[in-house]
């Protein structure tokens, strides 16, 4: 006999952490049995989804490239190769967040920059956290002689931007790994999908 699983209650462990909370979920499993599961969540979520990540595809002189950023991340004690990303503001739709964050982190905006698609809600590590996101694909059409734009970084934000030809993405990620960078799971998975198609 199989039931639809359901959450019975959620208890938050008391800490003085500000941005994250550790919780214990009591739920009923498929056999009707009560079980517990521990979960970490952001305390910053404003709506149903935490964040957007941006697959920014540059088209210039017939070549296709993808925009990556390098950013130091204390939780993994490493500089991580990621897609540009950001948290959704209250009531904001994912396409708007994506265009705002892309502008702030990389400088790209305006004519020739458009949202192509917004992914289904994606969960990042559903065995451990409730963290979720959309992957927003943005097309950037650049004239042949366009200079790279300047990002609008906040004080204390240290982000290095890089554009990589799509066909070199897997090789570039291997090189990053050799040089001690960590690779974000989204970036490596997109590269793996690209490689599968070859």
Site for its own copies in 86-145 (CB under 8 A): 119-133, 135, 137
Rule CB under 8 A: choose which of 1, 34, 62, 74 binds its own copies. Answer: 74
179 touching its own copies, by CB under 8 A: no
Taking the least distance from each CB to its own copies, the nearer of 20 and 145 is 20
The piece of 1-9, 94-102, 106-114, 141-149 that touches its own copies (CB under 8 A) is 1-9
Q: Distance between CA 198 and CA 196 in Å, rounded?
A: 6
Of 170, 162, 158, nearest to 68 by C-alpha is 162
Q: Distance between CA 185 and CA 189 in Å, rounded?
A: 6
Taking the least distance from each CB to its own copies, the nearer of 100 and 181 is 181
Give Rg (Cα) of the chain.
Answer: 19
The piece of 8-16, 91-99, 106-114, 146-154 that touches its own copies (CB under 8 A) is 8-16
- Give me the residues paired with residue 117 across strands: 137
In the region spanning residues 32 to 61, those forming contacts with its own copies, defined by CB under 8 A, are 33, 35, 37-42, 55, 57
Q: Distance between CA 98 and CA 113 in Å, rounded?
A: 11
Q: For residue 164, what are its two tokens?
A: 């990589």
């Amino acid at each position: 006999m199989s039931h639809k699983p359901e959450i019975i209650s959620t208890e938050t462990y008391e800490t003085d952490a500000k941005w994250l909370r550790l919780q214990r979920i009591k739920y009923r499993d498929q056999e009707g049995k009560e079980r517990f599961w521990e979960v970490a969540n952001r305390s910053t979520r404003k709506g149903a989804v935490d964040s957007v990540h941006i697959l920014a595809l540059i088209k210039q002189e017939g070549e296709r490239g993808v925009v990556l950023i390098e950013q130091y991340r204390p939780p993994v004690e490493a500089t991580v190769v990621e897609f540009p990303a950001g948290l959704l503001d209250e009531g904001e739709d994912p396409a708007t967040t994506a265009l705002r964050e892309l502008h702030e982190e990389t400088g790209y905006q305006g004519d020739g920059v458009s949202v192509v698609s917004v992914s289904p809600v994606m969960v990042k590590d559903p065995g451990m956290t409730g963290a979720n996101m959309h992957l927003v694909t943005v097309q950037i059409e650049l004239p042949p002689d366009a200079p790279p734009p300047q990002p609008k970084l906040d004080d204390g934000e240290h982000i290095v931007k890089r554009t990589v030809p799509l066909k070199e993405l897997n090789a570039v990620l291997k090189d990053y790994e050799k040089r001690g960078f960590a690779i974000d799971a989204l970036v490596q998975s997109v590269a793996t999908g690209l490689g599968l198609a070859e």
